[in-house]
Structure 1
Amino acid sequence: MTHLTEQAVTVTPATQVKLAPTAQPRHCVGIVGGTFNPVHNGHLVMADQVMQQLKLERVLFIPDANPPHVDHKTAISAKDRTAMVALAIQDHPGFELDTLEIARGGKSYTYDTLVELKRRHPENDYFLILGADMIAYLPKWYRIADLAKLVTFVGVRRPGFPVKSKYPVIWVDAPQLATSSTQLRQLVAQGRSIQYLVPDAVASYIKEKGLYHA
């Protein structure tokens, strides 16, 4: 959603038109971050629902480089995770892939990512999209007090998790898809189908690359 300010117009006797300086337009941009190991339809539904309900201009999908909380024994290369995200969002005009965390390397702290995004695009207002389970963990996040000054938290309601936080949160409802990346890896390892749980292009990529097989 773009917020435009009216330009003041002054007409001189010579009928010359002068445009007074105006504030830079603001743009509302969502963020979905994560390991995406692999990306699945639950990520896409959540992002789309928030985008439509809050009237965001677009949503950035930002894969982690080295998330501090992930079991590295189950992680695959950033190249493969990024490729799957690109395939998953290719048909949605409002979804974009941003690889800034991959390019930066090291541990992927959301605070560092928001500092960089605000530096690149000071005209943007960012909305960090999180499931209610992640909202509950916000107090443990790196530099959370500083992060809260840079971004608006958007919580997607989930059964069993309280709709409350010590930080300001915009709560939205979205269809619940009982899918997790862990479950998908297990299904693939067991030789079971993941059709309808991930986009077809992602399923094909996993099969072609032999990912997650035991």
Structure 2
Amino acid sequence: MAKIGVFGGSFNPPHHGHLLIAQEALAAFALDEVWWMPASQPPHKQLAGNVSDEDRIALVQEAIRHNDKFSLSLLEFEREGPSYTIDTMRTLCTRYPTHEFFFIIGGDMANSLEQWHEIEALGKLVTFIAINREDYPLKENHYPFSVEELYVPSFNVSSTFIRQRLEEGKNTKYILPDGVRRVIEVKGLYGTEESPRNR
């Protein structure tokens, strides 16, 4: 039985913090792979920036291409309308009945699991890996399903912060993977290209 980590998010853009979380989960839980799953239409927010789904797919592909334990899943792009985690996991469990799935979430998401769509049904399909960081500490929970805690060193950078720096022409070297920075520059994403002095 393969142990698969499912790492969902808007990845707008993917950065070193995302890579660190995925790698820490892979190692701590002896996962066979981590499947990165960009959300096509997050149900609770609109995507920021001037990026298309195709742009974000290209950015994730570039971010993970040097790690053979990471792969890209486009499952959420197969459906129209809002995408809920329970729908995604039901599809995955049907397609891969011999796999064991671990769903990787940040502390902010773990602290509000009771608000998720069909959370009790979802909790029967996956083991949650909840990331505990200094900036998003986990609160004590009493969920009737498995939520495993994983401490990850803090990488206090968000995709919002990165988008702002890109729009202002500020440095993102060592914040974004070099390949992701190149794709952003070539495509002219997030407003303006970086200043040459920041490349």
Give the 3-state SS of the residue equivalent to 2:5 in structure 1.
Answer: strand
Q: What TM-score do the two structures reach when normalised by structure 1?
A: 0.85
State yes or no: 1:206 paired with 2:184.
yes
Gaps of 5+ in 1: 1-25
Give 1:73 shift.
5.0
Gaps of 5+ in 2: 193-199
Distance of 1:154 and 1:143 partners within structure 2? 18
Partner residue in 2 for 1:147: 122
Partner residue in 1 for 2:166: 188
Give the 3-state SS of the residue equivalent to 2:114 in structure 1.
Answer: helix
State yes or no: 1:171 paired with 2:149.
yes
Contact persistence 1:163–1:171 (CA under 8 A): no
Q: Give 1:130's match in structure 2, choosing from 76, 91, 105.
A: 105
Matches within 5 A, 1:72-111: 72-74=47-49, 76-111=51-86
Please list the CA deviations of residues 92-139 of structure 1 after superposition, one character each: whole Å capped at 9, or x if unmatched.
010010001012232111110000000100001100011111101211
Give 1:164 shift.
2.3
Contact persistence 1:88–1:201 (CA under 8 A): yes
Deviates more, 1:154-163 or 1:99-108: 154-163
Q: Give 2:132's match in structure 1, choosing from 151, 157, 180.
A: 157
Distance of 2:176 and 2:89 partners within structure 1? 28
Contact persistence 2:50–2:189 (CA under 8 A): no
Pair member with larger Rg: 1
Percent identical: 38
**What code does the residue aligned with 1:118 have?**
C
Partner residue in 1 for 2:8: 33
Give the 3-state SS of the residue equivalent to 1:81 in structure 2.
Answer: helix
**What code does the residue aligned with 2:63 have?**
A
State yes or no: 1:56 paired with 2:31.
yes
Contact persistence 2:49–2:191 (CA under 8 A): no
Q: What TM-score do the two structures reach when normalised by structure 2?
A: 0.91
**1:174 and 1:73, CA in 2 relative to 1: closer, same or farther beyond 3 A?**
closer
Give 1:166 shift.
2.8
**What code does the residue aligned with 2:142 have?**
K
**What code does the residue aligned with 2:67 have?**
H
Give 1:72 shift.
4.1
